[in-house]
Structure 1
Amino acid sequence: MSLDTDPPTPIQPLVALRALLALRRDPQDTRQVFILGEAIKGKSPFTLLNRFRRDPMGQERLRERRKLIDTLQRTDWLASLPEGTLGRTYHAFLAEENLSAQGLVEVSMASGMTMPDDGSDRHFIGRQLRDMHDLFHVLSGYGRDELGEVCVLAFSYPHQGTRSFALIATLGALHLSRRLKVSGVLGAVWQAWRQGRAASWLLVQPMESLLVQDLTRLRQQLNIARPTRYLAVLARLSAKGHAVARPPGV
């Protein structure tokens, strides 16, 4: 059997509910994001697979089969890149947040959701989805604060079609609009989705090559707009005395 031909996984509402409740208790529990994604994915991986196979750049990525994680783990090389490049900004973002490219791999494995490497297209695409998460943060300009995490999921959804991203982004936006008690939260998440939808399809980009490019010019090239509404909310929170981290590359 191959992941490309396996039947879709039935949706598991109870598993999804437990993961959502766990995320409400701890929004930083990335393991629950993987569990929720598996519980409600249904046919969505096959929709993404077909889109990948139809896209000329997607076809090229499938032929190359390059492992992005191998490049992202070259920390000395990333640190040596010129200031302002995607790779250097990504490296600084991980260092500031005490993260690593391997960290997402370990969380995915700990959740029990890692797909076997059977050489299938679906395995390759799933691995790309996992390894690109923090690059989505840097490219979009959303930080790892609670609102930034919700916004980056909203931004990512048009690219990945991951149902859990849409669900978490929607529920997270409603929750944060009540909890943060500042205006503009819903507008920030809505803008994130719209800007993600307007951007070039990031999943098929040759990321290994893009790491050496200037981030500002790269955002223009990929039609990634500045997250103005998110930044405005951070400014309002800062004015109220909340500690606010600087978003990556913004």
Structure 2
Amino acid sequence: MNLDTAPPTPVQPLKALKALLALRRDPQDTRQVFLLTEALRGSSPLKLLARFRADAQGRERLAERRSLLPTLRRTEWLAALPLGTFGRTYHDFLAEEQLSAQGLVDVAKSAGMAQPDDGSDRHYIGCRLRDMHDLFHVLSGYGRDELGEVCVLAFSYPHQRTRSFALIAFLGALTLRRRWRLPGMLGAVWEAWRHGRAASWLVVQPLETLLERDLPELRRELNIAPPTRYLAVTDRGRALGRAIPQPPGRIL
């Protein structure tokens, strides 16, 4: 039995609560994000698989079974792309933040959530979603400061329907508002969700073939609006001497 024929796992509220409390104690404990996601998974992967199979582009991705990771590891090629392209902006984002495409794979392995490839569509989709996280940062325009990470999860939720993303985005927004007391934080997260909902369904896009595209043009084509409220909040924080910090490591 592979993942495509496996029954949905039941939601595990106690495990989810344990992971959530641990994450609140240490927001940088990425392992808890994966544990929370696993505890809340339920039937979500099966619903996403059905949506992929019902979508023309989704069926194309499943037929191709092309992995994003080899392309995202081509750092020299990405660095040589013209300024302003999707791929070059992605490369510069990773370089500035001292990240790598492999980093997300390593985080999943360290959390014990990496599964062997059983040839299933669900495994393929799961790997593709994992490898897209930093591409979503670049496409949506949200940075890696604490508010940006919460916003990118809110933006991602309509595309991936990962329950933990919605929960972390909601509770993260409340926590950040209480901690930094900057007006507009909740509005920025709400706007991120609305922008994600309004955009084209990004997880079925052939992102490997779009890296050479001009980023502003690509955003318009995919109906991704600028993160106006997020930028206003971060600008206000810097002006008040309360710049929102970046996490020392990966949140996701």
Q: TM-score, normalised by structure 1?
A: 0.96
Q: Is 2:62 aligned against 1:59?
A: no
Aligned partner of 2:250 in structure 1 is none
Give the 4+ runs in structure 1 shifted more than 4 A. Answer: none
Aligned partner of 1:124 in structure 2 is 124
CA distance in 1, matches of 2:131, 2:140: 16
User: What is the number of residues matched between the two proteins?
Assistant: 246
| Alpha-carbon contact 2:49-2:121 (below 8 Å) kept | yes
1:34-183 residue pairs with structure 2 within 5 A? 34-183=34-183
Using the TM superposition, give the Cα deviation of residue 177 of structure 1 relative to its aligned residue in structure 2, in angstroms: 1.2
CA distance in 1, matches of 2:130, 2:29: 15
Aligned partner of 1:224 in structure 2 is 224
Q: Give SS of 1:42's match.
A: coil
Q: Give SS of 1:132's match.
A: helix
Query: CA offsets per residue over residues 35-71 of structure 1, 9 Å max, x none?
Result: 1111101000001000000000000000100010010
Letter in 2 for 1:222: L
CA distance in 1, matches of 2:73, 2:38: 26
| Alpha-carbon contact 2:71-2:208 (below 8 Å) kept | yes
| Alpha-carbon contact 2:147-2:244 (below 8 Å) kept | no
CA RMSD of superposed structures (Å): 1.2
CA distance in 2, matches of 1:81, 1:28: 32
Q: Is 2:221 aligned against 1:192?
A: no
**Identity level (%):** 72
Query: CA offsets per residue over residues 124-155 of structure 1, 9 Å max, x none?
Result: 00001100000000000001111101000000
CA distance in 2, matches of 1:226, 1:150: 16
Letter in 1 for 2:137: H
CA distance in 2, matches of 1:218, 1:9: 37
CA distance in 1, matches of 2:211, 2:69: 13
Letter in 2 for 1:107: V
Q: Which shows bigger deviation, 112-121 or 134-143?
A: 112-121
Using the TM superposition, give the Cα deviation of residue 169 of structure 1 relative to its aligned residue in structure 2, in angstroms: 0.5
Unaligned runs of 5+ in 2: 247-252
Q: TM-score, normalised by structure 2?
A: 0.95
Unaligned runs of 5+ in 1: none
1:233-244 residue pairs with structure 2 within 5 A? 233-243=233-243
| Alpha-carbon contact 1:27-1:146 (below 8 Å) kept | no
Q: Give SS of 2:112's match.
A: coil
